[in-house]
Amino acid sequence: LTLSDDSMIQFCKAGLDAMLGEGVDYLFCNQEEAQVWCGTDDLETVRQSLRKLAKMVYMTRGPEGSEILTTEHSWHIPAEKVRAIDTNGAGDMFAGAFLYAITRGYAPNLAAALGNQAAATVVSQHGNRLTLGQLSAIKAYALPPLK
């Protein structure tokens, strides 16, 4: 599940809450969406609240990278330094790249690293689509061969 957008949270929180139910496997959000959902800017409070919603939470933080949160652990996955031109689609690109890697057997931190790299590439250009060449280069850079 993704928290999707600040306006979705503001206008559809009851529906999102119903979808969350007793929790989900994966929850994707960016920092701003997480803060709106939790009603606070305090990141530690946000992290503690999000941990209760899913087995694994992936919070993207723009130039700060992303965080993986579970009930027991948290990991910070650094971002590539890029000049952001158009951030439209960055969260979807992160989630798609993450899901690509996780369904192929990569560990969550490597899947998040691929997500960061794919999102960094997409925000560095106008438009939210990547070419097959860009995708191949991202995979080669961010994912080691599986054994």
Dig out the tokens for 28 from the structure.
């994707």
The phi, psi pair for 146, rounded to 5°, reads: -75, 145
- Quote the CA–CA distance of 65 and 47 in Å, as a whole number: 15
Active site includes 42? no
The Cα angle at residue 37 between residues 60 and 1, in degrees rounded to 5:
60
> Are the C-beta atoms of residues 141 and 101 closer than 8 Å to each other?
no
* Cα 138–chain centre separation: 16
Kindly tell me the burial class for residue 144, based on how many C-beta atoms sit within 10 Å of its own C-beta (0-12, 13-18, 19 or more).
exposed
- Which positions are annotated as active-site residues? 92
